[in-house]
Structure 1
Amino acid sequence: MKIRSAPIPVIPVLGVDLLIALVAAIAAFLFSQAIDLALSSESINQTLQAPSPWLVVLSCLAIPIFYIVVDMLNALVNRLKLPFAASRKRAQQIYARRIHLVLLALYFNAILVALCWSASAMPVMSKIYLAAVFAIAIYALGQSIPSTKLSFTLSGTLFVIVLLATQTFIITKTQAEAERAGQELRQQLEGNPDGAQ
């Protein structure tokens, strides 16, 4: 039996890891901006009702950074443990598991954003708890599918639905605030007609 002696490439593995981390970093930035925007105009207790920006960044980037470190250590110690050292099917399974975990973090943050926009006065621990429960439920639903392709399709579809729901909350609240601001402005102008001249 011939033993494989060709070197196992490291650059493609780290390239995929960095790509996943980049996507997670972009998502973390967008989610943190959405949370800041949702809570900046509210007269709320920032300590008790607003999640920390570091929570969003850490939850999005923890998993990608962990796997970057793991693959770097494996590249130095034992390259046979790298994803691309195995068969193509095995590599797909490894990255599917990693991407699903990243999606779990994105589910959590998308739901957290939706709660910040729809229930800004809710205590922050309640927001985090509800976001975690719903994110884990969606993640478990995707993992219940034995087929990798169907699991990815379902997970992607659920993620799009969560994003659309979040966007709906944002648009609805933005329109409501704009209408309220316009109504207050009209009332001020009606109450002080001389000030408009």
Structure 2
Amino acid sequence: MGMMTIHKADDFRGYSPSLVKCLALLKGIPDASEIEQLRLKYGCTCGRCVGGFLSPRMHLSLRRESASCSDYLEDFLGVGPEFFLNPPIPGGVGSQHVPNSIKRQMMGDISLCLGYRDLLLTFMKLSEEEVVPNATNFLARAELASSGRQCNGIEEEEEEDGERDALPECRNDLEYGFVSRMCGYETVSLVGTNFGAESLFDY
């Protein structure tokens, strides 16, 4: 294999500065901008990754998932907080990521359920913009969700399957563990399917 280096995707930390410089020269962009350097560093092959690593197709999947979960919460909050422990659709609101101790508190406090909904609405708002959904951007936009903004349905987000097909393919399209870590979240792995081959909340 000579000097070839093989990276395990979830453990990838980006190419070294010297390799990024070499890639820039090979691509004919010796004076690469900061975002171009980030895209080279993190293996972007579409030329449109936000932050160098969040591809347009993954961006769309994140938006669809957060919209779906927000709609689900809005529909079932009227049933009562107990649906968090026994949701009609297992894992339908990503509640498997909520510690059991917090779920039990939700049973007696609807405000916690509303807060969880606002978290999802904030994430959805972030995914509508071309920004990295990390803690800094999340906190900066938290007020937008708590201001009473309602999600109008996953139908608005999906529109048609052609929306995803119209976006460029990228090496980073399915690198959920890598992107999760880059955003500052716990590394996750993909096991479920929702939108094509993708799912963010089914681990």
TM-score exceeds 0.5: no
Higher relative contact order (CA 8 A, sep 6+): 2
Tell me the TM-score normalized by structure 1.
0.31
* Larger proportion of helix: 1
Structure number with larger C-alpha Rg: 1
Tell me the TM-score normalized by structure 2.
0.31
